[in-house]
A and B are shown apart, each in its own frame.
Chain A
């Protein structure tokens, strides 16, 4: 079974703090994703990475950065946390390749509260 793990289920930070959310997958997937989930808005893509050290902005990258130094690990960084970044953050991974469809597998999520 594909396993995607996230470092914390719940996290409470203060405004202005630098926050790291970590995601690890164990299936040698090329692609990794960070989403933000908010009520009434569904999931929105923040960033995704298609290879080590490669990244691409999603729909809402402002206020976030990412790091992928190893294939299995993808980090989301909030350089200076703000209250409007209080949300549920979901990580996902998918295989690469040339098939028409690459299923995404999701982690359990991190509920981040910024005070």
Chain B
């Protein structure tokens, strides 16, 4: 069975600064995907970024990037130039390749302060 652990229940960051959210996971699978989802206070969950385990290059989407360390089973999210609209709950999630089920971490509440 796979598990996903987010050890930071809450974090805060000043507007325009950089913040990193941590995630570790455990699996015996070699082919899988990792995700970061964002859930703003309005509650609609959206996908922020995705990483394929077979790719060594870290995924990047605009101000969002990941640090994927496969051997360490670590998958952190870096948000650069934080904006007030980044305030949300962030979930790290795991899916085996060709699977359908997501396994989520407990989430990290991020508050961006002006």
B100 contacts A94, C-beta separation under 8 Å: yes
Number of residues from B at the complex interface, CB < 8 A = 25
A84 located at the interface, meaning its Cβ lies under 8 Å from any Cβ of chain B in the complex: no
Main secondary structure of the interface of B (DSSP, over half): loop
> Whose C-beta in chain B lies nearest to the C-beta of A40?
B106
Which range contains the number of A residues in contact with the other chain? 20 to 34
B45 located at the interface, meaning its Cβ lies under 8 Å from any Cβ of chain A in the complex: yes
A104 contacts B105, C-beta separation under 8 Å: no
A101 contacts B104, C-beta separation under 8 Å: no
- For residue A101, which residues in chain B have a CB less than 8 angstroms away from its CB? 33, 50, 52, 95, 97
Interface pairs A-B: 6 shortest CB-CB: A106-B45, A42-B104, A43-B104, A42-B106, A100-B97, A109-B43
**Which residues of B are in contact with A by a Cβ distance under 8 Å?**
4, 6, 9, 31, 33, 37, 42-47, 50, 52, 91, 95, 97-98, 100-102, 104-107
